[in-house]
Amino acid sequence: MLDTSSTDMAGSSLDEVIACPECDALYHARMPEEGARLVCKRCHHVLIAPQKDAYLHVVSLALTTLFLMGGAIYFPFLGISAAGFENKTSVLKTVMAFLDEGFTVALSIFVAAFIIMIPAIRSILVIYVILPLMMGRKPAPYARTAFRVSEDLRPWSMAEIFIIGCAVALVKIVAYGKVEIGPAFWLFIVLVIVTVLQDISMDRWSIWKALERRS
Amino acid sequence: MESSGTQKLITAREAGLVSCTRCSKVWPMEHKTCGRCGGKLVSRDMMSLQRVWAWMAVGLMCYIPANVFPMLNTQVLGKTSGNTIIGGAITLAHHGGYFVALVILLASVAIPVGKFIAVAYLAVSVRRPDMLRNEQRHKLYHFVEFIGRWSMIDVFVVIITSALIQFSVAVTVRPGIAAITFALSVIFTMFAAMSFDPRMIWDNDGRGWPETGNDRNE
Ligand SMILES: [Zn+2]
Ligand SMILES: [Zn+2]
C-alpha cells in the first residue's frame, strides 16, 4: 500500500500523491474503505479517514450545534443563593458581565469569542461548505476560503474547556452558598459532545478533494 | 531518514516537491500557492523558528504579571482583597479545596511553564537533532499543541466565579488584571506552538537542509 520509492512517486501524477502535513512523508493517496484509515507510518498522523454518510452527519451535527448554542445562551445557566441573596446568570450574562470597565472588556470579548462566536461561526461555515457537496451540487462561492477559515479557527473554539472551567468553578463556589444548575449547563455539555463528534466525522482530505474537483 | 520495515519513506522535499500543510496536496517545488486550498506553499519555513521565539517571548512577558497581580478581587463589605494564581490556590487548599487547587495549579502553572520549556526545547532541537528521537520529539510537539489551550481553564473559572458571586454590597468578586494578562499569555503561546513547523523534526538526516528555492529564509 505504501510503496514510496522515488522512481515510483515520480511516475505517478501529483493528484495521486498525499504528503503528511506533519512530517512531509509521501504516500499514494488511495481512498481506503469506509471506516478504514490511512495513517502516516512514521508520525501516526491520520491522513485519510472516510466515513459512511459523512456529509450528512457533519451537516446535521453542525446544525445541532447552532440550535444548542441558541438554547445554551438563552436558558438559565447557573445560579447561587446564600443568606437571602440570589443570583442567576446565563451564558450571555456571564460573558457580558464585565463590559463596564477597562481591561475586563477585553476579557469579555475573548471569552465571548472562544465559547460562543467561534463555535457558531465554525458551524455556519461548515454547513455553507458541506451542504452543497451533500446535495451533489457545485461548491458554494468561496467555499475553499470558508473551509480554510473554519479549519484555522479550530483551536480557538474552547467550549469543552469552558465546561471544565464551570465544573471547577462550581466545586469552588459551593462554599459561598447553594448552587443551582440550569438547563443551559446541560445543553452546553451536549454541545461539547456534538462538536467532538463533528470533528471526528469530518475527513478533511475528502472534503478538499471534493471542493477541488467540483469547483 | 526513518524507515519502517522494508519500506523506505521519502519526503515531498526529497522528491523535489512541496507539500501543502493544510490540505496535504503536493506541488512541484516552484509553486508558491496551493491550487486546491489557496494556502501558502513553503517547503521548510526557516523563519518559523524566529516566529516561535518571538511569540514565546511575548507570552512569557504576559505570564510574569499574570503571576504577580491578582487574578480575582474579592470585596467583602467594602474591603477588597486580591488573590494571585498561586496565592488563590494556597487559600483554597487551606480551606480543604485540594482538588480545585490542584486543577488550578496544573492548568495555570504546570502547563504554561512546561509548555515554555517544551517549545524552547523543540525549537533548539531542530538545530541539534541528536537530542531526542524523532518520534519522541513529535509526540512532545503533539502534546504541547493539545494541552496548551487547556490553560484557559483558570480564565473561565474567574469569569464564572465573578459572574455568580455578586451579592450586592455583602460579597462581590471581580476579575483582576492578571486574568487578562494570563489569557493573553495563553493566546501568544498558542501562536508560538502553531508557528512551529513539525516537518523540521523529521529532517535530521545529518545533511542539514539543502536549498530548494522554496524555503522562506527571511
Ligand atoms: Zn507523518
Ligand atoms: Zn492546499
Digit-coded pLDDT (tens) for A136-171: 899 999 999 999 999 999 999 999 999 999 999 998
Size of interface A-B (CB pairs under 8 A): 208
- The domain locations on chain A are 6-48, 54-214
Q: Do B11 and A25 touch (CB under 8 A)?
A: yes
Q: Do A168 and B22 touch (CB under 8 A)?
A: no
Residue of B13, B37, B200 to mutate, testing the A interface (most A Cβ within 10 Å of its Cβ): B37
A106, burial (CB in 10 Å: exposed 0-12, middle 13-18, buried 19+): middle
Q: Do A165 and B104 touch (CB under 8 A)?
A: no
Residue B79 is part of a domain; what is its CATH number?
Answer: 1.20.140
If asked whether residues B17 and B107 sit together in one domain, one would say: no
The shortest C-alpha distance from B93 to chain A (Å) reads 11
Mean pLDDT of chain B: 85
If asked whether residues B85 and B183 sit together in one domain, one would say: yes
Q: Do A172 and B161 touch (CB under 8 A)?
A: yes
Residue of A5, A9, A13, A23 to mutate, testing the B interface (most B Cβ within 10 Å of its Cβ): A23
Ligand 2 centre to CA of B108 (Å) is 36
Give the model's pLDDT for residue A31: 78
The beta-carbon neighbor of A172 closest among B17, B27, B100 is B100
Give the model's pLDDT for residue B217: 58
Flag whether pLDDT at A6 surpasses 70. no
Residue B121 resides in a domain: yes
Give the count of domains, chain B: 2
Q: Which chain A residues are within 8 Å of B155, Cβ to Cβ? A: 107, 110-111, 165
Q: What is the pLDDT of residues A37-67, one digit of tens each?
A: 899 988 899 999 888 888 999 999 999 999 9
If asked whether residues B36 and B50 sit together in one domain, one would say: no
Residue B213 resides in a domain: no
Flag whether pLDDT at B154 surpasses 80. yes
Q: How confident is the model at residue B69 (pLDDT cuts 50, 70, 90)?
A: very high
Flag whether pLDDT at A23 surpasses 70. yes
Indicate if the alpha-carbon torsion angle A155, A159, A164, A168 is positive or negative: positive
Residue range A54-214 forms a domain whose CATH class is mainly alpha
Residue of B3, B21, B26, B103 to mutate, testing the A interface (most A Cβ within 10 Å of its Cβ): B26
Mean pLDDT of chain A: 87
If asked whether residues B118 and B81 sit together in one domain, one would say: yes
Indicate if the alpha-carbon torsion angle B85, B86, B91, B95 is positive or negative: positive
Give the model's pLDDT for residue A215: 57
Are B11 and B167 within 8 A, CB to CB?
Answer: no
If asked whether residues B38 and B62 sit together in one domain, one would say: no
Residue B211 resides in a domain: no
Give the model's pLDDT for residue A214: 62
Are A170 and B99 within 8 A, CB to CB?
Answer: no
Ligand 2 centre to CA of A209 (Å) is 10
If asked whether residues B37 and B140 sit together in one domain, one would say: no
Angstrom distance (rounded) from CA A46 to CA A39: 4
Q: How confident is the model at residue B151 (pLDDT cuts 50, 70, 90)?
A: very high
If asked whether residues B21 and B92 sit together in one domain, one would say: no
Range of the domain at B1: 1-43
Angstrom distance (rounded) from CA B4 to CA A8: 18
Flag whether pLDDT at A12 surpasses 80. no
- Which range in A86-90, A98-102, B51-55, B169-173 is most confidently predicted, on average pLDDT? B51-55
The residue of chain B nearest to residue A151, with distances taken between CA atoms, is B22
Q: How confident is the model at residue A15 (pLDDT cuts 50, 70, 90)?
A: confident
If asked whether residues B12 and B51 sit together in one domain, one would say: no
> Residue B87's closest CA among B98, B99, B72?
B72
Q: Count CB atoms within 10 A of the CB of residue B204.
A: 20
Q: What is the pLDDT of residues A172-205, one digit of tens each?
A: 888 778 899 999 999 999 999 999 999 888 999 9
Q: Which chain B residues are within 8 Å of A114, Cβ to Cβ? A: 152
Residue B218 resides in a domain: no
Residue of A172, A181, A207, A208 to mutate, testing the B interface (most B Cβ within 10 Å of its Cβ): A172
> Residue A88's closest CA among A97, A96, A98, A79?
A79
If asked whether residues B25 and B58 sit together in one domain, one would say: no
Average pLDDT over residues A101-122: 90
- DSSP H or E segment with residue A133: helix A118-134
Flag whether pLDDT at A102 surpasses 90. no
Residue B212 resides in a domain: no
Flag whether pLDDT at A103 surpasses 90. no
Give the model's pLDDT for residue A5: 43
Q: Do A23 and B11 touch (CB under 8 A)?
A: yes
If asked whether residues B24 and B55 sit together in one domain, one would say: no
Average pLDDT over residues A115-136: 95
A97 versus B218: which is more confidently predicted? A97
Q: Which chain B residues are within 8 Å of A5, Cβ to Cβ? A: 8, 10
If asked whether residues B1 and B26 sit together in one domain, one would say: yes
The shortest C-alpha distance from B206 to chain A (Å) reads 16
The residue of chain B nearest to residue A209, with distances taken between CA atoms, is B36
Average pLDDT over residues A79-103: 82
Percent of the residues in chain A that have a pLDDT greater than 90, as a whole number: 55
Residue B156 resides in a domain: yes
Q: Do B190 and A89 touch (CB under 8 A)?
A: no
Give the model's pLDDT for residue A176: 79
Ligand 1 centre to CA of B147 (Å) is 20
Q: Count CB atoms within 10 A of the CB of residue B195.
A: 20
Angstrom distance (rounded) from CA A107 to CA B177: 10
If asked whether residues B85 and B116 sit together in one domain, one would say: yes
Q: What is the pLDDT of residues B76-121, one digit of tens each?
A: 888 888 889 999 899 889 988 888 899 999 999 999 999 999 999 8
